[in-house]
Chain A
Amino acid sequence: MARNVSTQRKLLTTVVAWTIAILIFFPILWTFLTSFKTEAQAIASPPVFLFFDWTTENYFEVQSRSDYFKHFMNSVVVSFGSTLLGLVIAIPSAWAMAFAPTKRTKDVLMWMLSTKMMPPVGVLVPMYLIFRNTGLLDTRTGLVIVLTLINLPIIIWMLYTYFKEIPGEILEAARMDGASLAKEIVYVLTPMAIPGIASTLLLNIILAWNEAFWTLNLSAAKAAPLTAFIASYSSPEGLFYAKLSAASTMAIAPILILGWFSQKQLVRGLTFGAVK
């Protein structure tokens, strides 16, 4: 299995790969570094890389000027809320489709996938008006509802592919031993399904955290999650690179860490189980 390549070649690959990886990562690294500079250092020419007076002032500034924490909490509530609500709706459906499939199960799954093909802008106008007329505009509840709906197909598909891998015989054995449906779910299925559910949860929090069509269009000052909050930096006032960087770093750090932990699940979830 393990091919032996010459150390020389391995070294060369290492150098090339690291160079490219650092180039790709550079914008994020640069944002991180800039967030610790003063505004003057942030636009210094030639740019300063590491040797500047590190300061955490920007972070406090962002918080005191624009109530960063409120938007952070909006993001947390909206992404966790929509994911949990989605899981509650999707788990029974995925369970049923995985363990009691009918002739139409495949079609139902394909149809669910096809709802993701609808461009959001096709329903922007009515959604905006419905939200306006029901008072859901610029509320966390409204965002939770929309994000639950747009991510529901992905949640169902992911859970379905995980549940499919649980051997059905085990469930039958439990049934033979007289376990009721409820017991079957609580004591047999749940423990085996937890890794799959956890991966689904992670991926969907990432997707919901970064969703930037509905959050931008359906929220304003009050319920704006970080995506919309950061967008307010698009019209700059004076020197703002360091503050933009600080706000950005705080907005992306939690999800970057979550994402790195769930690399493998990322592939599976995003391809609806087509690539594992």
Chain B
Amino acid sequence: MATLHTRSAARLMIAPSVLLLLAWMIVPLALTIYFSLLRYNLLMPGMEEFAGLTNYTYFLTDPAFFQAIFNTLAIVIGVLFITVVGGIALALLLDQQMFGQGIVRILVIAPFLIMPTVAALVWKNMFMNPVNGLFAWLAKLVGLQPFDFLANAPLFSIILIVAWQWLPFATLILLTALQSLDEEQKEAAQMDGAGAWSRFVYLVLPHLSRAITVVILIQTIFLLSVFAEILVTTNGGPGTQSTNLTFLVYAQALLQFDVGGASAGGIIAVILANIVAFFLMRMIGKTLEA
């Protein structure tokens, strides 16, 4: 079918994308590796020298690093848990017959379309602020002390904000998958006397497994790199309580101008992402092939 002519034309057409992405993959990453082996601070130009693995030992023995790894994983797992469980529940609800379904869908999707800096600032100021926030007002209404969310539970608050942004994504994808479930199958199961719970466990959940896997994969990619929400709410603090790996590297590079140290951190982030991706791909490979 494809002649020699079209085949070489095809190659020519793919080339720009492949070359661009290849350059984008290799050039900066090679530079990061190179910088990570140098003692290089922007405040001391001309003082660059080879430092071996010093940057790595420095980074890996920094207590902030372990806090950052913990926080990174906590954000990923916390948000995944809320969005997947909440997303399944919401998708099941939205799949029912109701009045005004279209509008309900639109309202539920909305948070996903909000830019991260807006979402985080709105939550920080208008909801979580211990003096003027709506939560403080609600707390006072029922006779409780207002709670300073971002000072006393910074990580939890950030997880909450990020989960709010991603819940619509999970819901939308799971709902789309749910709607492709054969109605007759459900009816057949019902006629065979399967209750709502067993229909959910044996029919709906297996049908959703592919979509759930996709949700987990895509969200993990983005959640490993949560940044803007931390920057505008807590700035990583108090201390390093809400600093994740992305934020730690950012602070090292653009606040302390330590190019070498930040590059080492960046490489560690890449390795971590690859480990996660490896397990995810294996897990997903199984479901996607089925």
**A residues whose Cβ falls under 8 Å from a Cβ of B:** 1, 3, 5, 10-11, 13-14, 16-18, 20-22, 24-25, 27-28, 30-31, 34, 43, 45-47, 89-90, 92-93, 95-97, 99-100, 102, 108, 112, 114-130, 149, 152-153, 156, 168, 172, 181, 206, 209-210, 212-213, 216-217, 226-228, 230-231, 233-234, 236, 241, 244-245, 248, 251-252, 255-256, 258-260, 263, 266-267, 270-271, 274-276
Task: Name A116's closest neighbour in chain B (CB-CB).
Answer: B221
Interface pair A119/B115, CB less than 8 Å apart: no
Closest 8 CB pairs of A and B: A126-B31, A92-B13, A123-B28, A212-B228, A96-B10, A259-B113, A100-B10, A122-B270
Number of interchain pairs (Cβ within 8 Å): 292
Nearest chain A CB to B227 CB, angstrom units: 5
- When C-beta atoms are compared, the residue in chain A nearest to B137 turns out to be A45
The number of residues on chain B lying at the interface, defined by a beta carbon within 8 Å of a beta carbon of chain A, is: 101
Establish whether residues B32 and A21, one from each chain, have CB atoms under 8 Å apart when the complex forms.
no
A213→B225 contact, CB < 8 A: yes
Q: Does B90 contact A (CB under 8 A)?
A: yes
28 residue pairs of the A-B complex, CB under 8 angstroms, read: A20-B108, A24-B108, A24-B164, A25-B111, A27-B111, A28-B114, A47-B134, A89-B16, A90-B17, A102-B7, A112-B17, A115-B24, A119-B273, A121-B227, A123-B29, A125-B259, A126-B27, A181-B6, A210-B115, A216-B231, A230-B232, A251-B115, A258-B113, A259-B112, A266-B112, A271-B214, A275-B176, A275-B177
> Cβ of A181: which chain B residues have Cβ within 8 Å of it?
6, 9
Asked if B99 and A14 sit within 8 Å, CB to CB, the answer is yes
Q: Is the CB of B97 within 8 A of A5?
A: yes
Q: Tell me whether B115 and A117 are in contact (CB under 8 A).
A: no
Residues of B with C-beta under 8 A to A275: 173, 176-177, 210-211, 214
* Closest beta carbon of chain B to A102's beta carbon, Å: 7
From B258, which residue of chain A is reached at the shortest CB distance?
A125
Residue in B99, B126, B140, B250 with the greatest tally of chain A CB atoms within 10 Å: B126
| Residues A234 and B232 in contact, CB atoms below 8 Å apart | yes
The complex places the Cα of A125 from the Cα of B121 at a distance, in Å, of: 26
Interchain CB contact (< 8 A) of B17 among A10, A93, A122: A93
CB-defined contacts of B250 to chain A, threshold 8 Å: 121, 124, 217
Contact B172 A227 (CB under 8 A): no
How many Å from the CB of A46 to the closest CB on chain B?
6
A30 to B114, CA, bound (A): 14
Q: Which of B215-249 contact A (CB under 8 A)?
A: 218, 221, 224-225, 227-228, 231-233, 245-246, 249
Alpha-carbon distance between A242 and B231 when the two chains are bound, in angstroms: 21
- Bound-state CA distance A120–B7 (Å) is 34
CB distance from A55 to the nearest CB of B (A): 18
- B118 in contact with A115 (CB, 8 Å): no
- Partner of A212 from B17, B227, B245 at Cβ < 8 Å: B227
**Secondary structure dominating the interface of A:** helix
Q: Is the CB of B173 within 8 A of A96?
A: no
Q: How far is the CB of B146 from chain A (nearest CB, A)?
A: 11
Q: Which of B20, B29, B96, B105 contacts A152 (CB 8 A)?
A: B20
Cα–Cα, bound, A47→B134 (Å): 8
Known: A17-B104, A248-B118. A122 touches B98 (CB 8 A): no
Tell whether, in the assembled complex, residue A248 and residue B100 are in contact, meaning their CB atoms are under 8 Å apart: no
Contact B116 A227 (CB under 8 A): yes
Determine whether the beta carbon of B99 is less than 8 Å from that of A10: yes
Known contacts: A121-B250, A123-B29, A206-B113. The answer to whether A230 contacts B121 by CB under 8 A is yes
Q: How far is the CB of A199 from chain B (nearest CB, A)?
A: 14
Determine if B125 is an interface residue (Cβ-Cβ < 8 Å). yes
Q: Which residues of A contact B272 (CB under 8 A)?
A: 119
Contact of B2 with A by CB under 8 A: yes
A122 touches B14 (CB 8 A): no
The minimal Cβ–Cβ distance linking B242 to chain A, given in whole angstroms, is 14
Q: A104 CB to closest chain B CB, in angstroms?
A: 10
Question: Which among B7, B96, B99, B228 is the interface contact of A100 at CB below 8 angstroms?
Answer: B7
Question: CA–CA, A226 to B228, complex, Å?
Answer: 13
Partner of B14, one of A11, A96, A263: A96
In the complex, which of the residues A13, A25, A213, A271 contacts B110, with contact meaning CB atoms closer than 8 Å? A25
Bound-complex Cα distance A153 to B24 (A): 12
Interchain CA distance A173-B105 in the complex, whole Å: 42
Chain A residues, CB < 8 A from B265: 121
B83 at interface, CB cutoff 8 A: no
CB of A178 to closest CB in B, whole Å: 14
Q: How far is the CA of A213 from the CA of B249 in the complex (A)?
A: 13
Contact B221 A117 (CB under 8 A): yes
Point out which of B123, B250, B262 has the most chain A C-beta atoms below 10 A from its C-beta: B250
CB-CB under 8 A for A267 and B266, given A17-B96, A123-B28, A234-B231: no
Complex alpha-carbon distance, A275 and B87, angstroms: 15
